[in-house]
Amino acid sequence: MGEITNVMEYQAIAKQKLPKMAYDYYASGAEDEWTLNENREAFSRILFRPRILIDVSKIDMTTSVLGFKISMPIMIAPTAMQKMAHPDGEYATARAASAAGTIMTLSSWATSSVEEVASTGPGIRFFQLYVYKDRKVVEQLVRRAEKAGFKAIALTVDTPRLGRREADIKNRFVLPPHLTLKNFEGLDLGKMDQANDSGLASYVAGQVDRTLSWKDVKWLQSITSLPILVKGVITAEDARLAVHSGAAGIIVSNHGARQLDYVPATISALEEVVTAAQGRIPVYLDGGVRRGTDVFKALALGAAGIFVGRPVVFALAAEGEAGVRNVLRMLREEFELTMALSGCTTLADINRSHILTEGDKLRPTPRL
């Protein structure tokens, strides 16, 4: 392996190393994958308006998320089934996140349980929740996460059914037989069986509660005292509802373009969500973040932090924990450099005037 100089390079290595079924599951998006490309393309259409002759000899990237201090506004999104990528799976991700002083979000569909991940040592961790039809199962799982020291629930709200991921359909995707969805082990639930299409899509159709609605955010609040992040908001209307529901924060996400195709890139939807939230709760973003410049652009548009998904699983596949550490290191260094070259020394310095979006170009003069 030659020297890795950016997080995107891990994808080609993962493709070489992984069985096709696993790689395709990690890499693919829904249907035409228009949104998958757009999640990246939209970042490339945002340009910088850097400020010069500012003392950038000291740069502070630290921030707080829901009151938890972290080293940088770069966190790890929940991605399912990480042991398919590497035998250490979620353990490696948890350790790498702790070492970097940032937050890991563990998927409901992890191949390691909440208790196992907690056993890797101290670290600030969030738990991503899929709400199953069987609410007893959900209650139990949330309690276990709470007991294991997880600090928040990221409630995924964009998956009443699984998006149509054609690679998984062609591959008849199922979890390899030596792995299980560890958080549900021993429970009397259906397994992810070989189906005529994606085994995961059938599993979701059987288990996940399609009736989920805003009143269930209240229900979730009644069973846990953990703060709730609503993951999967991409409109101003839903941002307002999230604020009213008592959510502690919003994650602008299109699920890595794996659910509804032809939704806008998250970076394009971010500003309307931030405006609608009116500063009442923090807004985070995931989707297509691959460069420190992307992190800066999201913050300039009002995000309080970002999460990365695929780079983590690809790096895991290539190099295990060392790979995930390297992803976090590269993103951190690129972000620090972007801050320096834009004339920002703290996150509070990053503002809307540091970037130029396509919408801005239609205006006669930059806003000051």
Instruction: Identify which of residues 90 and 286 has a Cβ nearer to ligand FNR in the complex.
Output: 286
Q: Which has the closest alpha carbon to 144: 103, 110, 97, 176? A: 110
Instruction: Identify which of residues 227 and 288 has a Cβ nearer to ligand FNR in the complex.
Output: 288
255 scored as a contact of ligand FNR (CB under 6 A): yes
Q: Judge whether 287 is annotated as a binding position.
A: yes
Query: How many degrees, rounded to 5, is the angle at CA 163 between CA 162 and CA 167?
Result: 110
Binding mask 302-341 for ligand FNR (x = CB under 6 A): ------xxx--x----------------------------
Report which residue type is found at 81. Answer: M
Give one word for 259, left, alpha or beta, with left for phi > 0 and alpha for psi -120 to 50.
alpha
Instruction: Identify which of residues 128 and 342 has a Cβ nearer to ligand FNR in the complex.
Output: 128
Q: Which helix (H) or strand (E) holds 229?
A: strand 228-233
Helix, strand and coil content of the chain, in percent to the nearest 5, comes to: 45, 15, 40
156 scored as a contact of ligand FNR (CB under 6 A): yes
Binding mask 265-284 for ligand FNR (x = CB under 6 A): --------------------
Using the 8-state DSSP alphabet, how is residue 131 labeled? Answer: P
Phi, psi of 285 (to 5 degrees): -140, 145
Which residue of 289, 295, 301, 324 would you call a contact of ligand FNR, by CB under 6 A? 289
Q: Which residue is nearest to ligand FNR (CB)?
A: 309
| CA atoms within a 13 Å half-sphere pointing along the CA-CB vector of 204 | 19
Binding mask 207-236 for ligand FNR (x = CB under 6 A): ------------------------x-----
Which residue of 72, 77, 138, 228 would you call a contact of ligand FNR, by CB under 6 A? 77
**Residue 255 annotated to the active site:** yes
Which residue of 35, 79, 268, 342 would you call a contact of ligand FNR, by CB under 6 A? 79
29 with 254: CB under 8 angstroms?
no
Q: Which residues, including other chains, have CB under 8 Å from residue 285's CB and lie 6 or more apart?
A: 251, 252, 253, 266, 267, 270, 298, 303, 305, 306, 307
Q: For residues 220 and 270, give the distance between their C-alpha atoms in angstroms, rounded to a whole number.
A: 25
| Total residues interacting with ligand FNR, rule: CB under 6 A | 23
80 scored as a contact of ligand FNR (CB under 6 A): yes
Q: Where do the H-state alpha helices sit in 162-265?
A: 166-171, 199-207, 214-223, 236-245
Binding to ligand FNR (CB under 6 A) within 7-26 occurs at: 26
N-term to C-term CA, the chain: 47
Closest contact distance (angstroms) between CB of 259 and ligand FNR is: 9
Q: Judge whether 310 is annotated as a binding position.
A: yes
Three-state SS for 63-83 is EEECCEEECCCEEECCCCCHH
Closest contact distance (angstroms) between CB of 257 and ligand FNR is: 7
287 scored as a contact of ligand FNR (CB under 6 A): yes
Binding site as annotated, residues: 25, 78-80, 107, 128, 130, 156, 165, 231, 253, 255, 258, 286-290, 309-310
Residues binding ligand FNR (CB under 6 A):
26, 39, 77-80, 107, 109, 128, 156, 231, 253, 255-256, 258, 286-289, 308-310, 313
Binding site as annotated, residues for FMN: 78-80, 107, 128, 130, 156, 231, 253, 258, 286-290, 309-310
Catalytic residues: 255
